[in-house]
A and B are shown apart, each in its own frame.
Chain A
Amino acid sequence: AQSVTQLDSQVPVFEEAPVELRCNYSSSVSVYLFWYVQYPNQGLQLLLKYLSGSTLVKGINGFEAEFNKSQTSFHLRKPSVHISDTAEYFCAVSDRAGGFKTIFGAGTRLFVKA
């Protein structure tokens, strides 16, 4: 069965500093991996996705993530964060065996301080 573990519930960071939000997953077959951002009282916005091909994927707002199959990880990174990046970030996985339903992690609250 699929599962997603986001290792940090909260990540405080100063503006313009780099950040990494960690995500590990478990799945028995080839997976598709996603990061979503959710601002307060809003819906889910797709940041980036890994479906196949290059293991380094680039997304919107300067974010990128690297798929590491051997470590079953899909960590999200940004070299320099802005105040506006303060939000909840969800890692998610889906696969064919699971009927392509999306399984979400518990979320990481990124708090960018001035």
Chain B
Amino acid sequence: EPEVTQTPSHQVTQMGQEVILRCVPISNHLYFYWYRQILGQKVEFLVSFYNNEISEKSEIFDDQFSVERPDGSNFTLKIRSTKLEDSAMYFCASIALTANTEAFFGQGTRLTVV
């Protein structure tokens, strides 16, 4: 069964450093998303991406965040200058937008900022 793949599974970084979280969505999917889950809290929408541009972003997705689809397969989330409060689990998801509009989620990247 096709799946969304995220790497790394866990990343530790120093405050102020840049991090790039990587996702490989399912190959025929057209919509891509990033979500964040701070420990013990709910999953929050960050950004959606369609046709090589951001289609929607939440208030969490400020100027330190950016997304990119650098090639035909990868979808990345960059955090330019990490803060302690960026520590969270980050989930990538993709949707085919056919009759089945279910989002397929990756297993997440746990980001720890120290």
A positions within 8 Å CB-CB of B: 32, 34, 36, 41-44, 46, 49, 51, 90, 92, 94, 96, 99-107
Indicate whether B107 reaches chain A with its CB closer than 8 angstroms.
yes
CB–CB A34/B45 < 8 A: no
Complex Cα distance A51/B96, Å? 14
CB–CB B107/A43 < 8 A: yes
Complex Cα distance A35/B13, Å? 32
Indicate whether B111 reaches chain A with its CB closer than 8 angstroms.
no
Interface SS of chain B: strand
Number of B residues, CB within 8 Å of A: 26
B positions within 8 Å CB-CB of A: 31, 33, 35, 41-45, 48, 50, 55-56, 89, 91, 93, 95, 97, 100-103, 105-108, 110
A43 contact from B42, B103, B105, Cβ within 8 A: B105
CB–CB B102/A43 < 8 A: no
Shortest CB-to-CB span from B53 to chain A, Å, is 12
CB–CB B102/A46 < 8 A: yes
**What chain A residues lie within 8 Å of B108 (beta carbons)?**
43-44
The 10 closest A-B pairs by CB, nearest first: A43-B107, A104-B43, A43-B108, A106-B42, A44-B105, A101-B45, A104-B42, A99-B48, A101-B48, A102-B103
CB–CB B97/A100 < 8 A: yes
